[in-house]
Amino acid sequence: MLDPRKLHLLRELARRGTIAAVAEAVTFTPSAVSQQLSALEREAGVPLLERTGRTVTLTPAGHLLVEHAQAVLEELERASAALAVARGGPSGPLRIGAFPTAARVLLPPALAGLTGAHPALAPMVSEIDPADVSAALRAGELDVALVHEYDFVPPVTDASIETEPLFTEPMYLTSRPTVAEARADAWITGKPGTLCHTMAIRACQAAGFEPLVRHHIDDFDTVLAFAAAGQGVALVPHLAASDPPGGVRLTRLPLSRRTLAAFRRGNGEHPAIVAAVAAFRTAVSRLPL
């Protein structure tokens, strides 16, 4: 019988590309991952990995098996969710990931509602950029996460991750009426690698120029403080723009940001996930949108 643990490693290899990265994701040594994949290959009776020097690539058979691995792991996830239902209501630890603004604005009321309704539930929050969420979910480091998508930035499609939209908010530009007019300005964006950084670059490119990025700051309150001090222009979402510091003009742009809840496919019926998404929704409904 094929071992789902090995199938999981194979799937991670397909996503991350190197054995070392897989090992880091599952907190094994590369040696262990290598051995497990070799064993899987032996059981499969057909080469799954192609070793060329110090790199590995999946063979067509390897890719095929990844598809099936996906289906197997999804069914196992469903089975676990069904057991959680049988255990009776949400309980135990629930690891929540959230981008910083959500952690500040959305999570406090959501968590209050969540633990109020389900005292046995122990939510644990980690700040995490949306770009890293799907890997963290797959690795089992998170159970549910708040992520966002921007226009211009294609949403990450991952067969093993499912999302539920929560709300949409408009984006604002500081100091200038349009992005095009900020062509010569210094820009304040998120740190490289974050979605916010990508979003700002793409928005400027869409307006026909490459932005001059001077500051990399993730926290929108700090961003606004910098803008108020004349240190540059920035794009901020509605939620972060409700109470701008003095001297900061905000112009609403025809650009929006969608916030979603993400979780492992097959885990959507898990009572803790259901409860968390419900709590997110009621918190959203009380947001100043």
Residues that bind a copy of itself (CB under 8 A): 1-2, 4-5, 7-8, 44-46, 60-61, 64-65, 67-69, 71-72, 75-76, 78-80, 82-83, 86-88
Q: CB of residue 21 vs a copy of itself: minimum separation in angstroms?
A: 20
Binding site partner of 249, from a copy of itself, DNA, none, Cβ cut-off 5-8 A by kind:
none
- Cα angle: 115, vertex 119, 124; to 5 degrees: 55
Binding site partner of 79, from a copy of itself, DNA, none, Cβ cut-off 5-8 A by kind:
a copy of itself
- 213 sits in the region (left: phi over 0; alpha: psi -120 to 50; else beta) called beta
Binding site partner of 69, from a copy of itself, DNA, none, Cβ cut-off 5-8 A by kind:
a copy of itself
Residue 210 φ then ψ, to 5°: -95, 125
Q: Which stretch binds DNA (CB under 7 A): 49-57, 183-191, 198-206, 225-233?
A: 49-57
Number of CB atoms found within 10 A of residue 22's CB: 27
Which residue, 1 or 86, has its beta carbon nearer to DNA?
Answer: 1
Among 7, 10, 19, 48, binds DNA (CB under 7 A): 19
Q: Does 27 bind DNA (CB under 7 A)?
A: yes
Q: Which stretch binds DNA (CB under 7 A): 20-28, 153-161, 225-233, 272-280?
A: 20-28
Which residue, 43 or 127, has its beta carbon nearer to a copy of itself?
Answer: 43
- Residue 130 CA to its chain's centroid (Å): 3
Q: Does 140 bind DNA (CB under 7 A)?
A: no
Q: CB of residue 48 vs a copy of itself: minimum separation in angstroms?
A: 9
Among the listed residues 144, 123, 147, 159, the one whose alpha carbon sits nearest the alpha carbon of residue 269: 144
Binding site partner of 39, from a copy of itself, DNA, none, Cβ cut-off 5-8 A by kind:
DNA
Binding site partner of 18, from a copy of itself, DNA, none, Cβ cut-off 5-8 A by kind:
DNA
- Binding residues for DNA, per CB under 7 A? 3, 5-6, 18-21, 27-32, 34-39, 49, 51-56
